[in-house]
Chains A and B, each alone.
Chain A
Amino acid sequence: MTLLELEKVQSSYGSVRVLHDVSLRVAKGERVALVGRNGVGKTTVVNTLIGAARLNAGRVAFAGKSQSPIRPYHAARSGISIVPQGRRIVPGLTVRENLLLGSAPDRPGPWNLESIFGMYPILRERADGLGTAMSGGQQQMLAIGRALMANPDLLILDEPSEGLAPVVVDELGASLVRLAERGTAILLIEQNFGLIRSVGDRYYVMSKGSVVEQGRLAELSAEDLKRHVSV
């Protein structure tokens, strides 16, 4: 079953067109990496999925259903949770409240406050403190936990390693692999070579607003992957 499908997508901010021709798909249980250099439009793909960038042409479908116009809440209600770039922990809300916010779609599944606290015990310890008062790595756990609270079929992570220490990135990679093994599909938008390698199975490469290459990561040499993600 295809959870996310983009077909010849063109999108823009105001009059500035950023995506010219993006086609990709993620099926149930897949681990897909979307890679490319800075400024090629990777985050705009995410912004198109939440309606923050305008879809000018092409087709976006969540769980087989075409979306137009796209509203920010459509993806989450269709089983697609997004961990945005910069994490976007809501200021003024506690860790517990940020997590509860993620349960808005009311989808049944294994994830709830207790299971999130079980996976990331630090969140239980800091549950009544402000989410924005935590370290970058802890905020990343909170952002992932919040996304999981919706019991998604697909988790999209936009640059989750940004600003994290290497050891924290390794822990993040391990937890994403565990999630994937439990059946959650993952679309990882990343530039961190090691994280892409440890989590991804298939890949798409973006350049200048278009998808220019795709395949299996196992068939891609380390040098070629580094070439695609280097600044």
Chain B
Amino acid sequence: MLIQILNGLVYGGMLYIVSVGLVLIFGLRRVVNFAHGGLYMLGAYIGFAAGLYFGFWGGLVVALVLMALLGVLLDYGVFRPLQDKDHMTTVLVTFGILLVMEDMVHMIWGADTISVAMPALFDGTVDISGSPFPIYRLLVIAVAIVVVLGLTLWLRHSRAGLYVRASSVDALTTGMQGVDTERLSLAVVGLGTALAGLSGVIASPLMALSPAMGSSVLIESFIVVVIGGLGSFSGAFFAALVIGQVHNLGIVYLPNVSSMLPLLLMVVVLILKPSGFARSH
């Protein structure tokens, strides 16, 4: 059971890193970004391709940098013009970008799945309650904890974090205080897409790469964001932990209905608490 809970933490941790990027982008731009799953997938492929030359960790750095730059371009070229459009336009455009990214990856790397080797330093197991548990999975949990703590400290105790929280609630008033919210948004969307890329790269040794991998994570990421409360960083954290456990324990104990459990949970939460786990930013 402990092993299953740890596996749930691994999945929940990866889900949190993807989802918090969605939360950041929604908060600053009010754009529901359907392309986010594609960014996760693209990050994984870029990390894989760069890893062939620079090793796993070098590939991770390259993926983070390129994904952050892509985020800046997306914010400037897509999200900024979309922020005053209706939600349907936003959904159609960002979903179209997801399809374009999937086709591009299909053209470059093919439709076959690709396996990524574990980084040598973490390619082993440790004994937990008499069962072997991969060290790499513990690393994924550690990375998620670092991201949670790092983002929390940044948002709660830095000036930029204060501006991000203020702007995600009231961008005009934040701007009136002298904050260039457009430039802030460029940086935050860059951070959000880099986090999607980070999640893709660290997930790649655990699951086969395929052009469709982004679509599946996208659905569960949206469930996390909705259950957590739209725009809530702390809500996304708790929701990712819950969905991670539901996803993993469902696969083990209720395999026939495991894929619908997160959706059922979302329906229950929305009926009981439509605003999600947390309402604050």
Q: Within the complex, what minimum Cβ distance (angstroms) separates B76 from chain A?
A: 16
Instruction: Name the residue on B nearest A77 (C-beta).
Output: B178
> Which A residues lie within 8 Å of B280 (CB)?
92
A73–B173 Cα gap in the complex (Å)?
A: 9
Complex-state Cα separation, A105 to B163, whole angstroms = 12
**A173 contacts the other chain (CB 8 A):** no
Residues in B whose Cβ lies below 8 Å from that of A91 = 169-170
Known A-B contacts A88-B173, A90-B170, A92-B281; A73 and B165 likewise in contact (beta carbons under 8 Å): no
Report yes or no: A97 in contact with B176, Cβ–Cβ below 8 A: no
A82 to B172, CA, bound (A): 12
Residue in contact with B178 in the complex, picked from A76, A84, A90, A93, CB distance below 8 Å: A76
A100 and B176: CB pair below 8 A? no
Which A residues between 67 and 101 are near B, CB-CB below 8 angstroms? 71-73, 75-77, 82, 84, 88, 90-93, 97, 100-101
Contacts of A84 in B (CB 8 A): 173, 176
User: What is the 8 Å Cβ interface bit string for chain B, positions 206-236, against chain A (1 contact, 0 not)?
Assistant: 0000000000000000000000000000000
CB pair B166–A101 under 8 Å, yes or no, is: yes
| Interface hub of B163, B166, B170, B180 (most chain A Cβ within 10 A) | B166
**Chain B nearest Cβ from A113, distance in angstroms:** 13
In the bound complex, residues from chain A placing their C-beta under 8 Å from that of B163 are 101, 104
Q: Which of the listed residues A50, A71, A101, A105 has the most CB atoms from chain B within 10 Å of its own CB? A: A101
Q: In the complex, are the beta carbons of A71 and B180 less than 8 A apart?
A: yes
Residue B52 at the A interface, CB < 8 A?
Answer: no
B179 lies within 8 A of chain A by Cβ: yes
A73-B166 in contact (CB<8A): no
Q: From residue A202, how far is it (CB to closest CB) to chain B in Å?
A: 25
By a CB distance below 8 angstroms, the chain B residues around A76 are 176-178
Binary flags per residue of B158-197, CB closer than 8 Å to A gives 1, else 0 = 0100110110011011111111111000000000000000
Interface size on A, residues (CB 8 A): 23
Known: A72-B181, A73-B181. A93 touches B176 (CB 8 A): no
Among A76, A90, A97, chain B packs the most CB atoms within 10 A around the CB of A90
Q: Is the CB of B174 within 8 A of A50?
A: no
CB-defined contacts of A92 to chain B, threshold 8 Å: 165, 169, 280-281
Q: Cβ of A104: which chain B residues have Cβ within 8 Å of it?
A: 159, 163, 177-179
A179 on the B face (CB < 8 A): no
Q: List A residues 95-146 near B (Cβ within 8 Å).
A: 97, 100-102, 104-105, 146
* A90 and B166 contact, Cβ closer than 8 Å, known pairs A72-B172, A73-B176: yes
From residue A64, how far is it (CB to closest CB) to chain B in Å? 18
Q: Which residues of A contact B178 (CB under 8 A)?
A: 73, 76-77, 104-105, 150
A203 CA to B148 CA, complexed, in Å: 54
Bound state CA distance, A77 and B176, in angstroms? Answer: 9
Cβ contacts under 8 Å, A169 to chain B: none
Are A101's CB and B174's CB within 8 A?
Answer: yes
Contacts of B170 in A (CB 8 A): 88, 90-91
List 29 A–B pairs whose Cβ atoms lie within 8 Å, in order of A's numbering. Answer: A50-B172, A50-B175, A52-B172, A71-B175, A71-B180, A72-B172, A72-B176, A72-B181, A73-B176, A73-B179, A75-B176, A84-B173, A84-B176, A90-B169, A90-B173, A92-B165, A92-B280, A93-B166, A97-B165, A100-B162, A101-B163, A101-B166, A101-B177, A104-B163, A104-B177, A104-B179, A105-B177, A105-B178, A150-B178
Q: Which 9 A-B pairs have the closest CB atoms?
A: A72-B175, A76-B178, A105-B178, A104-B178, A88-B173, A104-B179, A92-B281, A104-B177, A90-B166
Point out residues on B near A: beta carbons under 8 Å: 159, 162-163, 165-166, 169-170, 172-182, 280-281
Given contacts A50-B172, A84-B173, A104-B163, 5 further A-B contacts (CB under 8 A): A71-B182, A73-B180, A93-B166, A97-B162, A104-B159
